[in-house]
Structure 1
Amino acid sequence: MLLFSLFLIFSCDVCVSEKSDLGYGLNIGNAIDVFANYGDLSQVTQVVSADYEDEKQEPTVPFSEKNIRVFTNATSSEDNNEASSQMDILLCETFENLLDTYFSNFKIEGTDKPWKAFMGDWIFDEMLRTLGIIYDGKGDNCCYVLIKLTKIHKSVKLDDLSQVTIKDYVETAIDELDFRDPIKVRKFMKSYGTHYIDSYVTGNFIYQVFKYKRNWFNILKAKIRNARHTGSSNLRIYFSSIFLTQVGDIKIASGNKTVEDWARRNLRDSQYLYSRPSLLRLQYSPKLTSKLNQFLDNGALLGLSLKTLRPLFRDRRKGNLYAELVENDLQLWEVNA
């Protein structure tokens, strides 16, 4: 009877410990199961804007995926940055290249297409809309330009893991794990994760996509290449209706509709007989850039690096076997997304 009571107490301690180590925010070093929301990680991370049916918006948080603390004494380095924003003009040869570029600061070990983890389950029309463009049936041979104004607030990077210790209940689960049984290994993945958060960047950015036919896109590309040599950056004519197939809507990564509405009203570029919202307006108005910079809060996830849970395993062979199964599954999911 005494032994039975001690077993119950021990079991409850483990349960309480695991529960207290569960989180839903950006906890550096914590582990997540990438497969839990693969194809729609944007549902639990604030990485793209979205359309809301209700005018009342809940406050956004950059990250809300379930994660678990697996390392006992992991440390990290943090850089808080309240510097001014940075504007980028990014050329994309195809729509998939546009998605690669948008998610260029996201790394998931084992996959070559991180954007598929975030939006792979979305239909094409949904992906277009969240990037501010409308399907017009002309996407086969079109190119894109992504303009964005980015402000980084915080960067966090995990320190070296060579001397870390593992949570007791995780070590117990590893000791009991039969690596010859893929079903049991995948069950372990669901309980303790596939990857750990190695680094992340939060802040915000406002963006706009411009769509081109390939011949006009090539002219713009040559102009930008020449501008880098000459220092000239007067690109306005190349963003006029003469060259463009479509002008995308202005969006913000945090999804803040108030800021999006402000940008549409104030960042208007007048050409010929009409005007339209354009982030290119910021190139000619330091005052508007400064004002918009104030609106870029810490509401979005700008970058994320996830690494497979090799460091959990003291036996390097077992760590490699685990990572191999995770990465093989990821490749399959990536192909099918």
Structure 2
Amino acid sequence: MEFCDNRRQLFQAYFRDFTVERMDKPWEAFTGGWFPDNAAKKLGINTSFIQGDYSYVLVRVVRFRETGKLNADIPIDQQLEPEVKARMDQLEIGNLTSAVRFIESVGTHYVNSYTTGNSLYQVFVYSRKNFKMIKERIRSKGLNALSKLDLYNYFAPWFAEHLGQIRSASANATVERWARRKLQYEYYVVKYVTLLKLHGNSTLLRSLDTLLGNDAILQLDLKSLNVVFRENPKKESWFHEVLDNNMKLWELNMPQNHASR
């Protein structure tokens, strides 16, 4: 459960476990194409709640299946593909064009580690006032200190401005249908679907565990390709300079950096 003061923090929370070396805001590498309509669809909420003055709580249930990680740093004598070696030789210190060509043909990063599996998540949208109230209450007393009734009240449609649809990380329609059917909560005449119904329910959790397969990347760590230039410190420094400048310009041109926050 993550408390997000604004849209930017919500995006950051969604990609919390994705890192990109030498990038100050790595989540922006993955939300670069998230215009309001795209973001709303991915997060399961209405577009108006992306653009307005709201706060959010991201609730997520995760099932990790596989993890892969390089056993050690890439050795200096690592054998490279001929095309990569040729591009390295063509890179000239001070020649921006050669550096850009290397980046376009070879890339900027490599996968250092990853974790796959699947997850269910739901975004709850709040007014600033109600968000502050729930945030202070849960952080002061802890989630486990709240009664089941308190939890349902704080995450109910009469307290939240909007309850997002439950989504799966892999957009698995079968899992999402299961959630709509099994996680429906009824309070008098009000019916709504909430991920909080899983809280403390071992039967539902076991059932969900069988449905969350190995369908999505849940964690990713990308490292800079500067390691391939370690035998030539001057080229390595030049590659770093070009990479850093390009990444900073790219971050500044992200759609969310020009839209209202």
- The answer to whether TM tops 0.5 is yes
- Equivalent residues of 1:309, 1:323 under 8 A apart: no
Unmatched 5+ stretches in structure 1: 1-88
3-state SS of paired residue (2:142): helix
1:107 aligned onto 2:107 = no
1:175 aligned onto 2:89 = yes
CA distance in 2, matches of 1:327, 1:311: 15
1:291, CA displacement in angstroms?
A: 0.3
1:242, CA displacement in angstroms?
A: 2.8
- Equivalent residues of 2:170, 2:215 under 8 A apart: yes
Aligned-pair RMSD on alpha carbons?
1.9
Q: Which residue of 1 aligns with 2:129?
A: 215
Deviations 1:60-103 (A, max 9, x none): xxxxxxxxxxxxxxxxxxxxxxxxxxxxx111111110000000
Label 1:333 to 1:138 Cα distance change in 2 as closer, same or farther (>3 A). closer
Bigger shift: residues 168-177 or 296-305? 168-177
Q: Which residue of 1 aligns with 2:240?
A: 323
Unmatched 5+ stretches in structure 2: 255-261
What are the equivalent positions in structure 2 for 1:1-16 lying under 5 Å apart? none
Label 1:229 to 1:266 Cα distance change in 2 as closer, same or farther (>3 A). closer
1:283, CA displacement in angstroms?
A: 0.7
- Equivalent residues of 1:194, 1:326 under 8 A apart: yes
Asked which structure has the greater RCO (Cα within 8 Å, sep 6+), the reply is 2
1:196, CA displacement in angstroms?
A: 1.1
1:162, CA displacement in angstroms?
A: 4.1
Q: Which residue of 1 aligns with 2:154?
A: 238
1:163, CA displacement in angstroms?
A: 4.7
Deviations 1:189-215 (A, max 9, x none): 122221111111111111100000011
Aligned residue pairs: how many? 249
- Residue 96 of structure 1 aligns with an amino acid whose one-letter code is R
- Equivalent residues of 1:240, 1:271 under 8 A apart: no
Determine which of 222, 244, 260 is the counterpart of 2:176.
260
- Residue 128 of structure 1 aligns with an amino acid whose one-letter code is A
What are the equivalent positions in structure 2 for 1:281-292 lying under 5 Å apart? 281-292=197-208
What are the equivalent positions in structure 2 for 1:56-135 lying under 5 Å apart? 89-135=1-47
1:260, CA displacement in angstroms?
A: 0.3
Q: Which residue of 1 aligns with 2:57?
A: 145
Q: Which residue of 2 aligns with 1:269?
A: 185
- Equivalent residues of 2:19, 2:27 under 8 A apart: no
Q: Which residue of 1 aligns with 2:219?
A: 303
Q: Which residue of 1 aligns with 2:139?
A: 225
1:246, CA displacement in angstroms?
A: 0.2
Label 1:138 to 1:165 Cα distance change in 2 as closer, same or farther (>3 A). closer
More helix by share: 2
1:139, CA displacement in angstroms?
A: 4.2
CA distance in 2, matches of 1:316, 1:272: 69
TM-score, normalization: structure 1? 0.70
CA distance in 2, matches of 1:90, 1:173: 43
3-state SS of paired residue (1:244): coil
Higher Rg of the two aligned structures: 1
Q: Which residue of 1 aligns with 2:258?
A: none
Deviations 1:5-63 (A, max 9, x none): xxxxxxxxxxxxxxxxxxxxxxxxxxxxxxxxxxxxxxxxxxxxxxxxxxxxxxxxxxx
CA distance in 2, matches of 1:102, 1:137: 16
- Residue 38 of structure 2 aligns with an amino acid whose one-letter code is E
CA distance in 2, matches of 1:244, 1:173: 54
Identity of aligned pairs, percent? 35
Deviations 1:200-235 (A, max 9, x none): 111111110000001111111112113329744532
CA distance in 1, matches of 2:204, 2:21: 39
3-state SS of paired residue (2:16): coil
Q: Which residue of 2 aligns with 1:199?
A: 113
- Equivalent residues of 2:7, 2:50 under 8 A apart: no
1:177, CA displacement in angstroms?
A: 2.2
Deviations 1:122-144 (A, max 9, x none): 32121012100002368432110
Determine which of 206, 209, 234 is the counterpart of 1:293.
209
3-state SS of paired residue (2:105): helix
- Equivalent residues of 1:227, 1:233 under 8 A apart: no
